[in-house]
Amino acid sequence: MSGRSPGSFFDGARSNPTFANCDAAAAAGTAIGADAVLAIGGGSALDTAKTAAVLLKHPGKRAVDFYEKGAPIKDAAPLVAINTVHGTGSECDSFAMAQSDGEGKPAIRSPHLYPAYTIEDPALTVTLPVKHTVFTSVDALCHAVEAATAVTASPYCISLAKEAVRLTSIWLPTAIAQPGNLAARYWLMYASAIAGISFDLGMLHVTHALEHSMSALNAAITHGEGLGILCRPSCGKSIRPRPRFWPACWPPSLRIWSGCPARPKPPWASSGIGWPPLANPPTWAPTLPGPTCRL
Ligand SMILES: [Fe+2]
């Protein structure tokens, strides 16, 4: 956070951030008179920063006032988001989430929660461990599937969702096999961004609702891991009745789900997470402007 003093660094946001994490981040900013917030990390860090940005503009309020007591969000400090995963969507949506352990994991939404700027640099994702590479892309997949199958889905958000599912199914196996492959990370990050835009327009529903209850009861379950456990039966039921989405997205979704934690180890896997070799591996890749790129 930057303010009248050089800045303040807060690293107290855990996975599945709590209201207390958000209050502590805001207090660190208030202590230096912060007038802007720089968030670096995945969804938990970004959502904590978004909440802190709101709290900085509402002296005397706490996170619980917005998440559980319906306090209106009238303003927020400018937020710059540097995303380090390819799944959250928080870097380009108007939502934030935090939880009270054992009780619930509500969301807040406001136009003030859009970051002023977002930096999407695939080079920041190459050190993600394999399981987090999978979990974060499963998060993006669920965003796309839920957005496209929501009753509020528009043709635009369905188009974005289809492309997000297609790209994720193509490039996730490559990122698993070659964590440093910048082309794979680039397209997964792009897929996540457009999935985030899609659900910002179309909303989420049953899979995320179930997962939020799961991680509120057991905070040790990361968001993507919980979605991985739930997504095949839950998203599958959502996709099947949707003729505009089903033909394009069922096969690639199946391919992604085959590596999720609740699935039995597939026969082709040599480790706990595995995908079948692509019948037609992609032979194209984006032209990256130097060692890093911006979306
Ligand atoms: Fe999510």
What does the pLDDT look like over 118-129, one tens digit per residue?
999 999 999 999
Q: Which two tokens stand for residue 292?
A: 């890093």
141 CA from centroid of ligand 1 (Å): 9
- Select from 259, 294, 289, 291 the least CA-distant residue to 273: 259
DSSP 207: H
62 CA from centroid of ligand 1 (Å): 24
290 CA from centroid of ligand 1 (Å): 30
Distance CA 172, CA 102 (A): 33
143 CA from centroid of ligand 1 (Å): 6
77 CA from centroid of ligand 1 (Å): 24
Give the per-residue pLDDT at 2. Answer: 56
Q: In this predicted model, what pLDDT tens digit does every residue of 196-226 receive, in sequence order?
A: 999 999 889 888 998 998 888 888 888 988 8
- 154-168, 189-203, 208-222, 280-294: least confidently modelled range: 280-294
Query: What CATH number does the domain located at 19-120 have?
Result: 3.40.50.1970
Q: Which two tokens stand for residue 282?
A: 């992609």
The residue extents of the domains of the chain are 19-120, 126-257
Q: Which long-range contacts (CB under 8 A, 24 or more apart) does 212-218 make?
A: 212/97, 212/99, 212/104, 212/105, 212/106, 213/104, 213/105, 215/16, 215/99, 215/105, 216/16, 216/99, 216/100, 216/101, 216/102, 216/103, 216/104, 216/105, 217/102
Distance CA 153, CA 234 (A): 17
Distance CA 74, CA 112 (A): 8
119 CA from centroid of ligand 1 (Å): 19
Distance CA 269, CA 259 (A): 9
Partners of residue 119 on adjacent β-strands: 82
Selecting from 2.40.10.220, 3.30.450.40, 2.102.10.10, 1.20.1090.10, what CATH number does the domain 126-257 have? 1.20.1090.10
Give one word for 242, left, alpha or beta, with left for phi > 0 and alpha for psi -120 to 50. Answer: beta
Q: In this predicted model, what pLDDT tens digit does every residue of 23-58 receive, in sequence order?
A: 999 999 999 999 999 999 999 999 999 999 999 999
204 CA from centroid of ligand 1 (Å): 9
208 CA from centroid of ligand 1 (Å): 7
109 CA from centroid of ligand 1 (Å): 14
CA atoms within 13 A on the CB side of 48: 29
Maximum CA pair distance of the chain?
59
203 CA from centroid of ligand 1 (Å): 11
Q: In this predicted model, what pLDDT tens digit does every residue of 249-275 receive, in sequence order?
A: 777 776 666 655 444 444 334 444 444
75 CA from centroid of ligand 1 (Å): 24
The mean pLDDT of 171-191, rounded to a whole number, is 91
Which amino acid, one-letter code, is at 61? K
142 CA from centroid of ligand 1 (Å): 7
96 CA from centroid of ligand 1 (Å): 10
Give the per-residue pLDDT at 258. Answer: 64
232 CA from centroid of ligand 1 (Å): 15
87 CA from centroid of ligand 1 (Å): 7
Q: In this predicted model, what pLDDT tens digit does every residue of 188-204 receive, in sequence order?
A: 999 999 999 999 998 89
